[in-house]
Amino acid sequence: MKQILMTGVGAYLPETILTNDDLSKFVDTDDNWIRQRTGIISRRKANPEELTSDLAVKAANQALLSSGLNVLDIDCIIVATTTPDCTFPATATIVQEKLGALNAFAFDVQAVCAGFVYALSVANGLMSAGQGSNTLVIGAETFTKLLDWRDRSTCVLFGDGAGAVVLQAEKSEEGYGIIANTLHSDGRYKDILYVDGGVSSTGTIGHVKMQGRDVFKHAVEKLAAAMDEVLHISNLTSDDIDWLVPHQANIRIINAMQKKLNLPDEKVIKTVSHHANTSAASIPLALTSGVESGKIKSGHLLALEAIGGGLSWGASLVRYGRPV
């Protein structure tokens, strides 16, 4: 039986940094409010000519280097994004062309902030069924292009970036690679976090709208339940987790999850302070930061979880790297 191993990670952040003080110059907010309520200090912003696919390609190249694979070995590319380069084709095909990954099939997954856990689960399913031996799963967003910069309740929360992982289907020791996934959606809550535009509705791109307090409540409750679920189906407990690598939307949500799982600070990757909420890119960005800083090592059990518009949410357990 083949395992779906996670053998490489990569990330890219656009160069432009927007601090809370920068924002307070054009919207009625302040550094203290943003830090206290969200934990965010700064975020990155893509330039107008910088596309989601550009960010994705940079993250993907780094993930390829980290896994030791050649781009022509890649046979599947999945891009999780809510901010595609264009309505069609899929951003994943643009990434394929820019990478020169000519042996891959490529498509996008749209589950907003939960996009990366959705894409990981889709990749796991395809690869377990024999479709794709070496898959690139990328979360990439230019989310700042969806923001209404006059709306202080949303514009301070988001940033741009991309993260990528390489998955390889290999005969390996049991308990390595992707161990369990759970995905959920509840469309009854579609109106608490959405974009007020679209191809078949307004014909415009629209802007992010959010009832933050409601989303916050759902996030804490639903993420905890999803994490319980993946631990239960894997016969593991929170004591087995080496690293919680959560979606980075708000430090208070991350801290609440940490508390529910009874994990010390040394077991949680927190990047929200300098990335803000990068939607589908947030987990692979945090993951890469954890690996590059030497915290996450081969053999560590990672707990990933995310929630976003839909509402859609999910969790995954992954034992990182390869057995030695």
Active site residues: 113, 247, 277
Structure tokens at 144: 């700042």
Cα within 13 Å of Cα(40), Cβ side:
30
Closest CA to 23 of 14, 15, 35: 35
Q: Is 296 in the site for ligand UT7 (CB under 6 A)?
A: no
Segment interacting with ligand UT7 (CB under 6 A) among 86-94, 201-209, 215-223, 258-266:
215-223
Number of residues counted as binding ligand UT7 (CB under 6 A): 21
3-state secondary structure of 204: strand
Among 37, 98, 145, 267, binds ligand UT7 (CB under 6 A): 37
Q: Is 215 in the site for ligand UT7 (CB under 6 A)?
A: yes
Among 89, 206, 212, 323, binds ligand UT7 (CB under 6 A): 212
Among 29, 131, 238, 273, binds ligand UT7 (CB under 6 A): 29
CB of 122 to ligand UT7, least distance (A): 20
List Cα–Cα distances, 307 to 33, 59, 60, 197, 321, in angstroms. Answer: 23, 22, 23, 21, 25
Q: What does the alpha-carbon distance between residue 36 and residue 98 come to, in Å, rounded to a whole number?
A: 41
CB of 79 to ligand UT7, least distance (A): 18
Q: Is 250 in the site for ligand UT7 (CB under 6 A)?
A: yes
Count the residues in the chain.
Answer: 324
Q: Is 249 in the site for ligand UT7 (CB under 6 A)?
A: yes
Q: What does the alpha-carbon distance between residue 139 and residue 134 come to, in Å, rounded to a whole number?
A: 17
Residue type, 50: E
Cβ-based nearer residue to ligand UT7, 156 or 315:
156
Q: Is 192 in the site for ligand UT7 (CB under 6 A)?
A: no
**Angle of helix 52-67 relative to helix 91-99, nearest 10 degrees?**
50
Cα within 13 Å of Cα(123), Cβ side:
40
Q: Which of the residues 38 through 97 are near ligand UT7 (CB under 6 A)? A: 38
The binding site for ligand UT7 (CB under 6 A) comprises 29, 33-34, 37-38, 113, 152-153, 156-157, 212-213, 215-216, 219, 249-250, 253, 277, 307-308
